[in-house]
A and B are shown apart, each in its own frame.
Chain A
Amino acid sequence: MTTVELAQSTVAAADSDISFFSLFLQAHIVVKLVMIGLLAASVWCWAIIVDKWFLYLRTKRQMNRFETVFWSGQSLEELYKTLANRANHSMAALFVAAMREWKRSHETAKPAIASLQQRIDRVMDVTIAREQERLESRLLVLATVGSAAPFIGLFGTVWGIMTAFQAIAASKNTNLAVVAPGIAEALFATALGLLAAIPAVIAYNKLSSDATRLSGRMEGFADEFSAILSRQIDERM
């Protein structure tokens, strides 16, 4: 067998082994762990993305509906009665918390009106903080994956290339057909890292800006509602 035929046969043998699964199966255990971790990170990131996406859509729709109801001239008492028994989120939760504090201060025998305004503000602040926490939870995971996944993938690649070179040194053959599979398998780790990181970074930027906008909208509503309640309190004093 001539050297040319030999090289061709090696290439042919190497060809059949460059599918995704064989790349994974041939890899060193460290590289395997990196790949599995990156795949899991990607799955988790996408789960968060999907979850947040729908959450923000829902929240936005609820806010719109609540604002139309709130500014429709309906009695606030009635609105509170209908909302009080439900599990509320965002603006509705804000409204219910403020109304509850208002009611509690008036329903007692001695109405505590002097610092009612401050109490209502504080209750609404707490509610906004809680709602923000709910909106922005797990977004940090996206940020972390987005920044760390490429490095993790790079680590897998470096490790894989290291072992590949060791194997090449052991086989005492620098033919490209010998070198290529090891390097391809090592680069696969970087590919997975980028695959996880890119959507995570994009989604983090988009979702965090959405969350900021939503919480800003809630703060605006809180200020407006606080102004209305403050006017009521002053009229009753």
Chain B
Amino acid sequence: MRAGLIASTVGHLAILLWGVIAFPDARPFDVPPVDSLPVDLVPISDLTKLRKGEKTAELREEEAPKPTEKKAEAPQPDAKTGDAKKEQPTPSVPEAKNQPSKAQPTPAPTPPAQKTPEPPAPKEVAEPQPAPQPAPAPVAEKAPTPEPQKVEEAPKVAEATPVKVTPRSKPTPPKRTQTARTEEKKKDFDTTDIAALLNKVDPSGGGTQASSTPASLGSDKGQSNVQMTQSELDALRGQIARCWNPPVGAAGADDLNVRLKVSFTQGGDVDQLPQVMNSSGNPSFGIAAESAKRAVLRCAPYSLPVAKYDAWREVIINFDPRELLGG
């Protein structure tokens, strides 16, 4: 027995010693470092912002290319031509070119006839109280009759005049040929003149091609800063919901969804009678649709942000008897 006891004691001591050596202490777990997750706080208006585009276009991820915007036209001369402290810049050249093109349709431009009525106008312009909106055209037409009183006006206006005069003279020749040709056609048709006829076609100015990418979903008035935030839509929804008495006892309320197309005036009034956009086989759908229309009409005018009129000018509102959802 003693041998067994000794053996056992020795064995236990050995195991304890081994335990102390093999498991000196618990190793800490390897905790994988947790990557921090970047979180951005985005205002809701960024998500609900209306893009510039067409209302009927499909929703796409990419924004359609923005149309090239003309720079704001040079300050209109309506800003006090007479006693301007600063120099007035010349009216932009393209405007001058537009005028002749507009002038072309007029049957026979008789330059002297136009000039004769003009002279009184420049005098008014030169007077200390300038006319509210002297269109650039009259100014250009004044130019041919240089008047000493216009010293106050910027000399650049005078410089612009020759440019404008030249286009005016150009359009006349083609018209003469055209009239001449029609006369010729009436008389007799000569096939050899076809080439000459084709060549005489007026060279068109550099127009721009339509963009090949379709327009994106958005507002057709095209102010990209027009945005109707979710909260504003909710506000509209809330205003309508207040006046809506849904058909409470109607059977089968599940398919009583009424979609109304409502157009508003800028003041928030309902423009025309709301149109029902959908239909249902439910016999009480008519009642529901009427109640929805009544609700829209009764609560007018609505207080909506005028700056965003473009966004709520025409709205489709979904009247769900279970829950009013705006669209």
Contacts and interface: CB of A to CB of B under 8 A. Distances in A.
Interface of A: 11-12, 15-21, 39, 42-52, 54
B12 A46 contact: yes
B19 A20 contact: yes
A15 B23 CA distance: 12
A144 B26 CA distance: 33
B25 A19 contact: yes
B121 interface: no
Given A20-B19, A51-B3, A54-B3, A43 B25 contact: no
Nearest to B27: A15
Interface residues of B, number: 18
A19 B24 contact: yes
B26 A50 contact: no
Contacts of A48: 4
Interface in B14-70: 16, 19-20, 23-26, 28
A49 B3 CA distance: 11
Contact of A46 (B8, B16, B23): B8
A49 to B, nearest CB: 7
Interface of B: 1, 3-9, 11-12, 16, 19-20, 23-26, 28
**Most chain A beta-carbon contacts within 10 A, residue among B4, B5, B12, B28:** B4
B241 to A, nearest CB: 47
A19 B23 contact: yes
B26 A49 contact: no
A42 B20 contact: no
A52 B23 CA distance: 32
A45 B8 CA distance: 8
A11 B28 CA distance: 9
Nearest first, the 9 closest Cβ-Cβ pairs linking A and B are A51-B4, A46-B8, A50-B4, A47-B8, A47-B5, A47-B4, A18-B26, A19-B25, A50-B7
B12 A43 contact: yes
14 contacts: A18-B26, A19-B20, A20-B19, A20-B20, A39-B12, A42-B12, A43-B5, A44-B5, A46-B4, A46-B7, A46-B8, A47-B4, A49-B4, A54-B3
Contacts of B19: 20
A184 B12 CA distance: 22
Given A18-B25, A39-B12, A47-B4, 19 more contacts: A15-B26, A18-B26, A19-B23, A19-B24, A19-B25, A20-B16, A20-B19, A20-B20, A21-B20, A43-B8, A44-B5, A46-B4, A46-B7, A46-B8, A47-B5, A47-B7, A48-B4, A50-B4, A51-B3
Contacts of A46: 4, 7-8, 11-12
Contacts of A18: 25-26
